[in-house]
Amino acid sequence: MSSRNLKPAKPSLTAVAAAAAVADLVLILVFAAVGRDAHQRGDVFSGVLLTAWPFLAGAAAGWLAARAWRDPLSVRRSGLAVWLGSLVGGMLLRAVTGQTVVLPFVIVALLSLGVLLVGYRLIIAGVRRRRT
């Protein structure tokens, strides 16, 4: 049997869900780090975590509400829920904890988190479509 006849093993749904969850976490941390770098310097690690935690909690709520682990790379079922959960949950948590919530920031977060959290799922869906 030649190596050309071997098909790569499909990753398990658990592995895909874990990878998607880690990707969401990392991308939200990137969003927070870029925002902090643009506006504040100093206290890098704890500052990024302070900025990111409401969005991470909102994303977790989106994962739970959509049961995203069932189809973690789905744009509609998971991507939109994680995006809107991170945005709405993040802004609500920021508001109740006395952090800044102003319209320009909401717009930037809406666009940035959308591009990041839905964007990579769109890219994966496009690659999958091309392969079939």
pLDDT at 127: 95
Contacts 24+ apart (CB under 8 A), 11-14: 13/69, 13/70, 13/72, 14/69
Total-model pTM: 0.88
Domain spans of the chain, in order of start:
13-131
Beta-carbon contacts of 94 under 8 Å, excluding residues fewer than 6 positions away, are 54, 100, 101
Q: What is the pLDDT of residues 84-101, one digit of tens each?
A: 999 999 999 999 999 989
Q: What is the pLDDT of residues 35-73, one digit of tens each?
A: 887 776 667 788 899 999 999 999 999 999 999 999 999
Number of Cβ within a 10 Å radius of residue 32: 22
pLDDT reading at 104 higher than 90: yes
| 3-state SS track over 70-107 | HCCCCHHHHHHHHHHHHHHHHHHHHHHCCCCCCHHHHH
